[in-house]
Amino acid sequence: MQQAQGTAKRPEDRSTEFVAVEGGKETASAGTLLVAAYLVMWALLLAFVWIGWRRGQQLATRLDSLEKALDRHDSAKS
């Protein structure tokens, strides 16, 4: 497969380097996109950590009920 369907460029046409530009004229939209990308990244990370924390809580609940069962068993024996 020499050329991907739906893409106009050949492999040799793509960018091969990033060059620093003095002063860097920029539009506001690029800054917005940059900040948006960072926010999305941090939102994803926080969501993953939050889900992990919730799972930790569920684990703690299961441990609590196990401990209660053991306590009931111990008090029934004594």
Partner 1 sequence: MQGSAKQPPLGIFPFLVAATLGVFLWLIQFVFFKAPVAQAEAGGLAQKIFYFHVPSAYAMYLCGVVCLVSSVAYLLSLTDKWNAWAQAGAECAVVFGIMVLTSGPIWAKKAWGVYWVWDPRLTTSLLSVLVYVAVVVLRAFAGDGEAERKFAAALGVLGTVNLPIIHYSVRKWGGNHPTVISQGGGGLKHPDMQLALGIGFLAMTLLSVVLLALRARQLSLAARVGRAEERAVAAGLTEGT
- How far is the C-alpha of 74 from the C-alpha of 43, rounded, in Å? 46
Q: Contact with partner 1 (CB under 8 A): which of 14, 75, 77, 78?
A: 14
Tokens, residue 40:
């999305």
Tokens, residue 33:
């996109």
Least CB distance from residue 61 to partner 1, whole Å? 10
Beta carbons of 49 and 42 less than 8 angstroms apart: no
46 binds partner 1 (CB under 8 A): no
- How far is the C-alpha of 66 from the C-alpha of 72, rounded, in Å? 10
Interface of this chain with partner 1, residues 49 to 68, rule: CB under 8 A: 52, 55-56, 59, 62-63, 65-67
Question: Would you tell me which residues interact with partner 1 (CB under 8 A)?
Answer: 1-7, 9-11, 14-21, 24-27, 29-31, 33-34, 36-38, 40-41, 44-45, 48, 52, 55-56, 59, 62-63, 65-67, 69-70, 72-73
